[in-house]
Amino acid sequence: MCQLIDNHLDTSQLRQTLGQWATGVAVVTTATPRGPVGMTINSFQSISLHPPLISWCIDLKASSYGDFQRCSHFSLSILNRRQERIATRFAKRGADKFSILNERCYTDCNDSSETNNDPEPLVEDCSAWLRCRLYRQILLGDHLMLIGEVISFSVGTESPLLFYQGQMTSTPESIA
């Protein structure tokens, strides 16, 4: 049974309630004049196939908010079940996030078919990746939604890393 709740919500209870929804875990990156920036997200979703659109959200207080708010392109690596360490590193403020990535990601994983001269790094061996051109931004409460038009993508063979009830997890190997 649903119950009506007033506008004075207990945000910790709301967070716990929302934690009942399992999500995938991804690393989103963009290129800046100072070098690449990136962060761990679980707000990714597919929007449309025609045109191919995806979205994700960033907190207005995130340290890389300004970089993503100004970006023209971004890349999204959907992490596999063995990449929790990468998710944890990219979730930390101020960490040297890109030292954990293999240098090969800057060359072999980069699609040169797009005119983006300084492609964003991708996570090697991820479950899937997408490169996007910024399509639209929408300010929603305390977050900015970035909508990207997919310009290239690839899918791997590993099952994805999941976030559920405040913890990293994955699907059982028997159904992966």
Domain boundaries, the chain: 22-159
Cβ-based neighbours of 70, under 8 Å, separated by 6 or more: none
Percentage of the chain surpassing pLDDT 90? Answer: 60
Element (H or E) spanning 129, and its range? strand 128-140
CATH class of segment(s) 22-159: mainly beta
* 2: confidence class by pLDDT, cuts 50, 70, 90: low
DSSP state of 119: P
pLDDT at 100 over 50: yes
pLDDT at 95 over 90: no
Query: According to the model, what pLDDT value does residue 170 have?
Result: 85
pTM value surpassing 0.75: yes
The H helix count followed by the E strand count for the chain is 3, 10
pLDDT at 61 over 90: yes
What are the structure tokens assigned to 101, written together? Answer: 């990535």
Higher pLDDT, 141 or 170: 141
Query: According to the model, what pLDDT value does residue 91 have?
Result: 93
Residue 8 CA: distances (Å) to CA of 4, 13, 118, 132, 143: 12, 12, 45, 38, 19
